[in-house]
Structure 1
Amino acid sequence: MRRVPPADPVTSVAVLADDLTSAGDGAAPFRGTGHRAQVLLPGLGAHVAARDGVVAVDLGSRLLDEPTAVALTWRAAGAFAGADLLIKTVDSTLRGHVAAEIRAAHSGSGRQAVVVAPAFPAEGRTTVHGIQHVQGVPVHETAFAHDPAHPVRTSDLARLLPEAELLEPERFGKLPELIEAGGVFVCSAATDADLGLLVSSVPRPDDVLWVGSPGLAAALAAHHSRDPAVPAVELPASHRPLVVVGSAHPATRRQLDRLRRRGDVGTADAGDDPAAAAEVLRRSTAPVLAVHTPDARRTASDALTGDVATVVRALTEDGLVDGLVLTGGETAVAALEALGVAGVDLVDEPEPGVARGVLLGRPRIPVLIKAGGFGDDGTLERLCRLLTEGGPVS
């Protein structure tokens, strides 16, 4: 095999995501290994290009029709083609226009090869012989099969990407010569060690379009740590956080139920009357507030997320809350757009799949963003504590 010289140190990283939580998940691990990182809201990616640090762009493509998503992804991949690392995130449960966006990003980027590894072992999402699993169950047999916007119909990556070659971990050592020849490679991974082996097997990461979820992002960040690192950030403590729940996923609803059982949390259902919900929370004396979409209407709805965002804006502008926990990608985007901010200046990843930072704009308050399907029943409680603790974060 021809010896390939090592790549130069990675200083610029671009993350192309189909929703806001994926953008945060893809960028946050790099902040923990010394890179500066920002997440930008939909539409802003057209105004920036590859640069020092990590730029994660939420393309907002998961909720678009496939032709529009493809065109948007192709343009973004071309704009960021010069990044040392170019990452196209995909949902670890294979929701969204997965295959179409991978092909568009490959074409737009002009990269020699595509390495696809959607496993996220820390959250029980594994790829075994090309089949995507959640807690050992093929993903199309889980609750993600009933996702209101993008129900998962297959767990088989070979069906999604028939042009790809499937690689098990014992064949990762062949990647240098395979990448040199070009192609698409779906890589199985059941552990973080598998993902680490995958990343370390590629000597020139700028030859590759990397496709994966937070597991792959963490492996890439660990392998390409930056020295000297970006200095620690003093994160302001929140005196009164607001938890915002728009996700319909059962995991988040269990987290919300546990939060509502506490005596020190004031909650309101945004329902069809956000003004009334905001007034309920204004009158609350609880140290933690929470607003959520209705329990009985767990389907995707722009109107529902808009109602929740209206409450977020009202309470923030009134100065009644000074920290946010945002759950669900569409809900997070709606809330941040309602506040008129450009995105999030990332600080770290306190838990797998959770991004922590401060708003890019005013008010410059701390924020935590979590995907709907992530975490155990106590996750929202822990995230509230993280907001109220504040302090230095490396």
Structure 2
Amino acid sequence: MLIGVIADDFTGASDIAVTLSKGLEGEGGLRTTQYLGVPQQPAEEQVEAGVIALKSRSLPAQEAVQQSLAACEWLLQQGCAQIVFKYCSTFDSTDAGNIGPVLDALAQRLAARNVIVCPAFPAMGRTLYQGNLFVHDRPLNESGMEHHPLTPMKDADIRRLLSRQAKTRVSHIGWQQVVQGSETLREILQDQTDEETQLVVVDALSDHDLTLIGIAAADEKLISGGSGIALALPHNFISARKAQGNNSEFPAIKGSSAILVGSCSGATRGQIEEHQKQHAVLAIEIEDVMAERIDADDLVDFILTHQDRCPLIYSSGDPAVVKQAQQQFGQHNISQRLDRLFGDTARKLVLEAGIQRLVVGGGETSGAVVSALNLGSLQVGSEIDPGVPALFAQGERPLALALKSGNFGRRDFFSHALNVLAGSTH
């Protein structure tokens, strides 16, 4: 294994896995496998990039550090020359968050001096300029992310945020330096190296910028960022003739399907609205979940009786309604109940009812579903939409999955994803 990735949630892991699998245009990427948690056995010999999906984004810092270090140890045992810590392109980490502490711990374990920090994902409108993270034309703290139910983002300055979280010194490389090219950028990184480790926030406005950063980081032991930071990492190993380049092919799965959605992002709400114009949709009311008036058997019954209409079940809602429910029942209690409900539903659908195509919306929901299914590892296939790959779990009965982060995907994403999993390109 050449590259090892530690991702702090399941959809983010899928996002960077497809980036590594795809590589730069014309070159191909690396043979990539996504692992659901830290594996208990060695990787298969042909795996060139391994992505470990943790569910650590919202964990207390100490727990996130322990899990991340365990993932790092396994990846090093597989021979990885480079470790990537992947977090969300909207950073999703408050002052009490764990990104800084995890970076501190990984940098110490790997004896890394300059650790690139770049959450930019231009394809989804996330750019970093003068150390500030933007979502399209708005600073992060004015983009709607300030209302996130778990990780409200109140500051767009990643340098300031990291300085409040991490013990490691934070520095910055501006866009004007990035665009001078990979060689210049590499020299800047090398010139900054001294006895003190530093987290280097690096600006990026385009995929070209991310490519320059990735090539400049060829010799760095530890890199961090959104999935875009991995764009050029396969190129480094291919150009060094340590890999040949790979274009993954994905088997078409045309069996029965289900869509489970737990994100309340604006993009997801719009996708649900679009889906229900032609397909079967069932809303889960939080009050019914908390009062145990609805259970996994009810949801399975809805899915199975509407197979001809691409059935979708969701617990999404307007942020104001979600906030009111959290105040009434408690955020942690709601999350636990919904995770258990979606996990139980997925398990019954796949293991008992034989569902073969499963699309999941929302990082927390995806984590609950794949944990309940105990899939172990997933083959990374073609890209459904930017940041969302088709995934394939081998077993007695094949299972195709798509795990979508809340803000990702076109407006008709859910039906489109089912079509791609079935082998259609339309």
What corresponds to 2:9 in structure 1? 19
Question: Distance in 2 between the 1:377 and 1:144 partners?
Answer: 19
One of 167, 173, 196 as aligned partner of 1:167: 173
Secondary structure at the aligned position of 2:151 is classed as coil
Question: Residues 40, 362 of structure 1: CA spacing in aligned structure 2 closer, same or farther, 3 A cutoff?
Answer: farther
CA contact (8 A) 1:192 1:219 kept: no
Write the letter of the residue equivalent to 2:282: A
Aligned to 2:249: 233
Match of 2:226 among 199, 207, 213: 213
The residue that corresponds to 2:280 in the other structure is 266
Deviation at 1:87, TM superposition (A): 0.5
Give per-residue Cα distances to partners, 1:277-306, cap 9 Å, x unaligned.
222222225241212225476466121122
Show the 5 A alignment for 1:74-223. Answer: 74-81=69-76, 82-96=79-93, 97-162=98-163, 163-172=169-178, 173-176=184-187, 177-178=190-191, 180-181=193-194, 183-202=198-217, 205-223=218-236
1:251 aligns with 2:267: yes
Report how far residue 128 of structure 1 moved.
Answer: 0.6
Alpha carbons of structure 1 residues 63 and 343: separation in structure 2 relative to 1, 3 Å: farther
Shift in Å, 1:113: 2.0
Partner of 1:358, secondary structure, is: strand
Q: Which deviates the most, 376-385 or 133-142?
A: 376-385
Shift of 1:234: 4.4
SS in 2 for 1:233: coil
Q: Which runs of structure 2 are paired with 1:34-49 in the superposition (5 Å)?
A: 34-42=29-37, 44-45=38-39, 47-48=41-42
2:158·2:201 contact (CA, 8 Å) conserved in 1?
A: yes
- The question of whether the paired residues in 1 share the 8 Å contact of 2:50 and 2:75 is answered with no
Paired residues in the alignment total 376
> Deviations for 1:37-58, whole angstroms, at most 9, x for unmatched residues?
111123x246557974111112
Distance 1:117 1:237 in 2: 36
Q: Structure 1 residues 116, 223: CA separation in 2 closer, same or farther (over 3 Å shift)?
A: same
Unpaired segments ≥5 residues, structure 2: 23-27, 164-168, 179-183
Task: Specify the code of the residue in structure 2 equivalent to 1:73.
Answer: S
1:336 is matched with 370
| TM-score with structure 1 setting the length | 0.87
* Segment drifting more, 32-41 vs 131-140: 32-41
> In structure 1, how many angstroms separate the alpha carbons of the residues matched to 2:148 and 2:171?
28
Give 3-state SS (helix, strand or coil) of 2:422's partner.
Answer: helix
The offset of 1:138, in angstroms, is: 0.9
Contact 2:21 2:247 in 1 (8 A): no
Q: How does 1:241-320 map to 2 (within 5 A)?
A: 241-262=257-278, 265-271=279-285, 272=289, 273=294, 274-293=296-315, 295=317, 298=322, 301-319=335-353
For residues 104 and 256 of structure 1, the distance between their equivalents in structure 2, rounded to whole angstroms, comes to 40
Aligned AA (1:119) = A
Number of the residue aligned with 2:181: none
Deviations 1:74-121 (A, max 9, x none): 343344345122100121111132222222221222223211111100
- 2:154 alignment partner, SS class: coil
Root-mean-square deviation (Å):
2.5
Deviates more, 1:277-286 or 1:240-249: 277-286
Q: What amino acid sits opposite 1:24 in the alignment?
A: S
Q: Secondary structure at the match of 2:389?
A: strand
Letter paired with 1:241: S
Identity %: 23
CA deviation map 1:253-283 (0-9, x unaligned)? 1101110111xx2233345212222222222
The change in CA–CA distance for 1:290 and 1:183 in structure 2 (over 3 A counts) is same
Cα deviation for residue 156 of structure 1 reads 0.5
C-alpha displacement of 1:360: 4.7
What residue identity is the alignment partner of 2:16?
G
Deviation string 1:50-75 (CA, Å, 9 cap, x unpaired) is: 97411111222112112211232234
Residues 339-376 of structure 1 deviation map (CA, whole Å, 9 limit, x = unaligned): 23113221132321102120254532111111111123
**Letter paired with 1:84:** A
In the alignment, does 2:422 pair up with 1:388? yes
Q: Is the 8 A contact 1:80 1:109 kept in 2?
A: no
CA distance in 2, matches of 1:284, 1:229: 42
The question of whether the paired residues in 1 share the 8 Å contact of 2:259 and 2:312 is answered with yes
3-state DSSP class of the match of 1:286?
helix
In the alignment, residue 115 of structure 1 is paired with which amino acid?
I
State the match for 1:63 in structure 2: 58
Which amino acid in the other structure matches residue 400 of structure 2? P
Deviation at 1:133, TM superposition (A): 0.5
The Cα of 1:224 is off from its aligned counterpart by 4.1
Matched to 1:268, the amino acid is L
Secondary structure in 2 aligned to 1:57? strand
The two structures have a TM-score, normalised by structure 2, of: 0.81
